[in-house]
Structure formats: C-alpha cells, structure tokens
C-alpha cells in the first residue's frame, strides 16, 4: 500500500485596490499573516474599484456606499480571492450576503489632519485667513469645519494622496484636511501640520483601522485572521459601525464619531451635521465594551430624538436631486 501524500495547504489570495495606500496596507497584512503562518502561502491580487475610476465627481454625488469595496466583494463571492483588505472607513456597515468582517486590526491615529501650503506654515486651522481655500472630499469634514469656521472656503478634491498634495503645493488650495493615518502609513507624517482635536472634527467611523473581509463559511481563513484581530480596536469600531448603521448613513454622509476605551468602559461620541454647517447634533454614551454594538444603537436612538434624522433626510434628498 503506497503512503498517503498530503496535499499542500491552499494559497490564500488577498484582494486589494491598486492605490498606493491600499497596497501599503495590504502588503502589511500579507507580511503579518506570513509571520504568524510561515508555512502558508499568501499572494496579493489587485483590482480597480468604481471609486478609483471616477475621479472627476464629488464622492457624495456618485451615490454609492460601496465605491471602494464592491469589486473586491464580488471577487470573494466568485471565489477569485479569499479575503480583502479595506480601510475600515470605506467598508459599508451592511455587507453582502455571505461575507463577514473577519478581523479589525489595531488602529492608527484616527484623527483628521491639517496639511498647509508653505505660505501658511505659521498658521493653525483657527488662524487661517478669511476665504482660505480648504480642500476636502468628505462631507463629514466639510460640515463640521463649516460649523466652526464659516469664514473659510471649501473646495472638493479627488485623487490619490500624491495628487492631492501636488495640487496643494501648486497653490490650488491653501490647506487640505486628510486622515492622519494615511499620511503616517505612507511615511508622510512630516506633512501633518496640525492634528485636529475632536472638539473641531470627529473622525469617520472606522477611520485609522483596517477591516479584513472574507466569506462567512470559510472557516480556514476566519481562523487565520484571528491572529490579526485587535480586540480594543474591534470593540470601538463595532460601536461606531452600529451607530452609523442605525442612522443609515454611508461614508459620504456628515456623521462623525470619537471613541475611547478605559478598561472595560467604552465611551462613544457622535455628531450629525448639515452640509452647510448650520445645524449640528452631538451626544455621548458610555457603557461596557462587551456591549459595543448596543451602545452604538443607543447613541443613534438618542440623536434621532434630537433631530439627527431630519438633518439626514434633508441631505439624502439633496444628494438624490444631484
């Protein structure tokens, strides 16, 4: 009787967008998995998403919550890839049937950052001159900063990080508001002029964390991903995502959050703001980290009672009208 030859373990295919930041994040995940499982093979496959292709239209006007994820999700459903690495802030709170959030990695600084043109290097966000042009593609940042700084001008900006910074340096903008995490991951921390405090700009849901999505029935991949799960970040982000899900807001709606975790006590603050910056609802809840999603649901309900739903309905109507 011939001895049984065991087949080698399957190669795990990791899906990524083609942008520089997405690839840096995906190769980091590949490196971590390879470190934890040196006998396994992990290969990266890249795809272009709708959000990567449409660069001449404001994100809020494209009207799609899965702009940077749909193609990757289709790849998993069609068994072309086994998992996908996302900036968690880009991942919709409702996933396609059969797919799950397999792991949330340790969070980088979730703050928004001010990056200025050289001529404003002695300024902060609150000392920029009247009419200074601030570039941002985020309705969340736009609404909050208009609320605090109605004297500033805001202009949409699209493109990858290098493209945006080139436009700033060429003088098309006086400053940009970007995610500190992206700048740090691309070794561009030196461009951060000011970290915006949460009193001025609550960050996006999931900002700074990576979300790794996979098929819900792929027990092998789910087991591998446990090595990358960072439980404190997961609890904070689950609370944030539950809050966003209950308010039915996509990544292009002015909803911001801030979470802190001390021991087992999780504090979640949220805002909903009108695009013109004239209306803003804000509140905070505190509870056990083990009940993170319940906390997010509770905060959403509280803020609905304070007028958040009316603000969001106005925004959805504006977006539908184009």
Total Cβ atoms within 10 A of residue 168: 22
Phi-psi region of 159 (alpha: psi -120 to 50; beta: other; left: phi over 0): left
With beta carbons less than 8 A apart as the criterion, state whether 81 and 104 touch: no
Phi-psi region of 223 (alpha: psi -120 to 50; beta: other; left: phi over 0): alpha
Cα 93 to Cα 115: distance, rounded to the nearest angstrom: 29
Cα 153 to Cα 143: distance, rounded to the nearest angstrom: 12
Residue 188: burial class (beta carbons within 10 Å; 0-12, 13-18, 19+): middle
Total Cβ atoms within 10 A of residue 215: 18
Which residues are known catalytic residues?
A: 90
Cα 1 to Cα 252: distance, rounded to the nearest angstrom: 64
């Amino acid at each position: 009787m011939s001895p049984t030859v065991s087949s080698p373990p399957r190669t795990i295919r990791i899906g990524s967008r083609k942008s520089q930041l997405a690839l840096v994040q995906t190769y980091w995940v590949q490196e971590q998995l390879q470190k934890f499982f040196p006998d396994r093979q992990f290969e990266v496959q890249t795809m272009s998403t709708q959000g990567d292709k449409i660069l001449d239209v404001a994100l809020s006007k494209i009207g799609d919550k899965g702009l940077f994820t749909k193609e990757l999700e289709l790849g998993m459903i069609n068994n072309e890839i086994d998992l996908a690495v996302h900036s968690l802030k880009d991942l919709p709170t409702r996933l396609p049937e059969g797919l799950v959030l397999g792991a949330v990695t340790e969070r980088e600084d979730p703050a928004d950052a001010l990056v200025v043109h050289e001529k404003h290097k002695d300024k902060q966000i609150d000392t920029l001159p009247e009419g200074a042009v601030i570039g941002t593609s985020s309705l969340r940042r736009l609404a909050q900063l208009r609320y605090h700084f109605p004297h500033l001008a805001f202009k949409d900006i699209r493109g990858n990080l290098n493209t945006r910074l080139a436009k700033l340096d060429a003088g098309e903008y006086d400053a940009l508001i970007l995610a500190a995490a992206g700048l740090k991951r691309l070794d561009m921390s030196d461009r951060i002029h000011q970290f915006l405090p949460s009193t001025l700009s609550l960050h996006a849901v999931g900002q700074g964390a990576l979300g790794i999505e996979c098929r819900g029935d792929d027990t092998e991949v789910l087991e591998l991903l446990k090595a990358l799960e960072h439980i404190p970040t997961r609890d904070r982000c689950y609370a944030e995502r539950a809050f966003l899900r209950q308010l039915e807001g996509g990544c292009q709606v002015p909803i911001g959050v801030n979470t802190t975790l001390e021991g087992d006590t999780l504090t979640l603050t949220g805002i909903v703001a009108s695009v013109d910056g004239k209306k803003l609802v804000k509140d905070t809840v505190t509870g056990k980290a083990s009940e993170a999603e319940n906390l997010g649901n509770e905060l959403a309900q509280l803020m609905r009672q304070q007028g958040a739903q009316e603000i969001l309905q106005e925004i959805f109507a504006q977006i539908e009208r184009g």
